[in-house]
Amino acid sequence: MPWYGQAFQLYRNEGTTDGNVNNWLDVRLVGADPGALGSLAHGSNRDGIGTRLTLTSASGTQYRQIMSGSSLGAGDQPAAHFGVGLDVKVKSLKIDWPSGYTQTYTDLTANQRLVVTEGAARIGTDPSRGRSLSLCDGPPH
């Protein structure tokens, strides 16, 4: 519905076909649930709600927090989306879980959807986009 007599507008995001050459990174989180996690008595909730993410690339540092319940009648995005402009690499991704557990990954490639499980040493790519699950080697720091 237009505001104050203005015409309707259609916004299309067609990615590279529309001239957008910017890079991005999506991060979906999976909490460890109530079981013990290392020296911690329990893990975080399954959806990672409350988790804070810090991404650093050549362009700077960005922050996201996974939230829920911020809109009446609609859900929140369960993943954190970072736009990294022309940067093709992410220097570091730090994940501070509500349980107190912290994971840091370095030297990540842009333009992928990652799945990070609390306490896991490797990152998976999101298979829900028709890709097979692949893992990035290397322990969290």
pLDDT for the residue numbered 1 = 52
pLDDT for the residue numbered 122 = 78
Q: Supply the pTM of this predicted model.
A: 0.76
Per-residue pLDDT of 50-78, as tens digits, reads: 999 999 999 999 999 998 877 777 777 78
The residue assigned the tokens 């333009």 is: 111
Per-residue pLDDT of 84-127, as tens digits, reads: 999 999 999 999 999 999 999 999 999 999 999 998 877 876 65
Please check the confidence at residue 130 and state whether its pLDDT lies above 50: no
- What the block records as the tokens of 138 is 């290397």
For domain 20-127, is the CATH number 3.30.43? no
Render 52-97 in DSSP notation, one character per residue. EEEEEETTEEEEEE-----STTSPPPSEEEEEEET--EEEEEEEE-
Please check the confidence at residue 134 and state whether its pLDDT lies above 60: no
Rounded Cα distance between 61 and 75, Å, is 26
Provide the residue ranges of all domains of the chain, joining segments of one domain with +: 20-127
Per-residue pLDDT of 3-25, as tens digits, reads: 677 787 777 666 666 677 899 99
